Structure 1
Amino acid sequence: MPLRFVSATCLFLVTMVSISMPPAVAQPTDQGVTAGSQFYEVRTYDLGDNGDAASVDDYLANALLPALNRLGIETVGAFAPNAEDETGANAIFVVIPYDSPNQIASVRDSLANDAQYQAAAKDYLDRGPQNSPYKRIRSELLSSMACWPQLKVADGSLENSERVYELRLYESANERIGDLKVEMFDNGEVPIFLDCGITPIFVGQCVLGPQMPNLTYLTLYPSESARQDAWKAFRVHPDWKVLSKNPKYAGTVSRIDKFVLSPKPYSQM
């Protein structure tokens, strides 16, 4: 089932309001950085039945990603569901890391005044309502978590043409339970991931999005078979058996959205 994220336009409007609020106190980690030190926009270009994936790819590869890179956002991911994905999603997923909500708001203004971006995006932006290349753009905004406070791309991973990714969104029934799921990750779930060959790219708690409260993460695998083997190992890992049986964390996930993804040729993740 497609991710039901809030529209990118609403994201910017609400972000402008949110940055005026007192910031939450970040929790220190042993990695020298803090939870909340990065923000991630997970943007979904929902192509619908009549979308033009080639047009969106051209825009992303030749206009948006280069413009974001010029603004200092150097690692932008772009993905599509691969053959093993069972959701039936007809979409392109984009992950954009930011240093602060202020940067999110400033990017849109910078793009509007970037002549190089405007020229590269002209064909895409000139399309009207009768030939839009997508059905809708939807986004969610995440704040990094203590267990994985900064986005990481494993060295040499981009050279592996067989690599696959998995995007998961875990919904919780209410805010208290959602915070418990975050605590569960921070208290040991990620080390189990790493021990089983599940390599995080990012892990974040949702700040804005219609599936709140939730957390979302993106993980990397050398191949599809490696992904399947990694999750088999995770399910029987002795530390997971202990953590998952802790009554404090019972019922922390009420729904899971899972997408198995392949990187676009121009992806920087």
Structure 2
Amino acid sequence: MKTIKLLSLLITIAMASCGNPNPETKETPETPESVEEGREFYQLKIYSFSSDAQVARVDNYLKNAFIPAVKKQGIDKVGVFKFRTNETDTIQKTYVLLPFESLEQFHELDSKLLEDDTYTATGSAYIDANYDNPPYDHIESILLQAFTDMPMMKVPNLDGPRSERIYELRSYESPTEKYYRNKVDMFNAGGEVTLFDRLEFNAVFYGEVLSGPKMPNLMYMTTHADMPTRDKNWEAFVDSPEWKELIAMPKYENNVNHADIWFLYPTEYSDY
């Protein structure tokens, strides 16, 4: 019994020493929610197809069923983009970009959509597709959170035909998590985001990848009226004094070991 009482006393003393030294001042510990307040979450869904019929079926589903239903759930802007195929990558793909106010909203979306009778009826050709006639080959899903220096998506200010616009999606992979955090810092504290703004790259989002196939990595999307404008913008970026100063800093060396670039264009029913 003495041993138990002594142990209880020691636990009480330890708890008191770790607690608030001033009982009249109650400090609320900083929570992850308060730290991340105001930064959107994004889901990037990438559909891959092997036939034009699949592409058409998913377009019909997205335009007439998915997007109207998603907007009922308070997700105001949805981006839908097509991949510009090339000689080395001929697979047709559709990219869907969704912003979320919280991870809870992201988690609950699919179940809430299935409770929407209009959605399930309008999207039945997609939702109830048979196993031997699927509407796509596969879907890749990437979850991101916005950078601190651009906490919310922006609709690009572009004129001209959508078919000519260049939406450039980039992924920067880092050799380790520490180097990855360093590259994110280069965008925020280092001023890359500010430089992109100054040169009118019309960024849609910058995001830290929370879950994806090529981690640790970040992703971002810039937009341009056409390919000549895109090339001119990047030339200005590379030649800018801000960029030359950044890449000369030893602290930002070796923070990217692989980069992927995809050229997209927005569908006629895309909000971005």
Q: Common fold, TM-score beyond 0.5?
A: yes
Query: For the structure 1 residues 25 and 192, does the alpha-carbon distance in structure 2 shift closer, same or farther, using more than 3 Å as the test?
Result: same
Does the CA contact (< 8 Å) of 1:65 and 1:76 recur in 2? yes
User: What SS does the aligned partner of 1:200 have?
Assistant: coil
Distance 1:26 1:73 in 2: 22
- For 2:270, the equivalent position in structure 1 comes to 267
Q: If you compute each CA radius of gyration, which structure gives the higher value, 1 or 2?
A: 2
Q: How far apart, in 2, do the equivalents of 1:85 and 1:70 lie?
A: 40
- CA separation of 1:231 and 1:183: change in aligned 2, threshold 3 A: same
Alignment of 1:135-146 (within 5 A): 135-146=137-148
Which residue of 28, 32, 36 corresponds with 1:23?
32
Task: Using the aligned pairs only, state the percent identity.
Answer: 35
Q: In the TM superposition, what is the alpha-carbon distance from 1:79 to its structure 2 partner?
A: 0.4
Correspondence list, 1:8-47, <5 A: 23=32, 26=35, 34=38, 37-47=39-49
Number of the residue aligned with 1:6: none
Match of 2:98, SS state, is strand
- Say whether 1:238 aligns with 2:238: no
Q: Which moved more, 1:157-166 or 1:182-191?
A: 157-166
Measured in 2, the distance between the counterparts of 1:168 and 1:87 equals 16
What is the alpha-carbon distance in structure 1 between the residues aligned to residue 173 and residue 50 of structure 2?
Answer: 24
- Cα distance in 2 for partners of 1:84, 1:26 equals 42
- Count of residues in correspondence between the two structures: 240
Cα distance in 1 between the residues matched to 2:148 and 2:188: 6
Gaps of 5+ in 1: 1-21, 28-32
SS of the residue aligned with 1:216? strand
Relative to the length of structure 2, the TM-score reads 0.82
1:227 positional shift: 0.9
1:216 is aligned, of 208, 216, 219, to 219
- In 2 relative to 1, CA 263–43 (structure 1 residues): closer, same or farther, beyond 3 Å? same
Equivalent in the alignment of 2:193: 190
SS of 2:204's partner is: strand
On the 8 A contact 2:160/2:225 being kept in 1, the answer is no
Letter of the structure 1 residue corresponding to residue 184 of structure 2: V
Q: What aligned pairs does 1:163-174 form with structure 2 within 5 A after superposition?
A: 163-174=165-176
Q: Return closer, same or farther for 1:202/1:173 CA change in 2, 3 Å cut-off.
A: same
Deviation at 1:130, TM superposition (A): 1.4
- 8 Å CA contact 1:51, 1:135 repeated in 2: no
Contact 1:85 1:261 in 2 (8 A): no
Which residue in the other structure is 2:250 paired with? 247
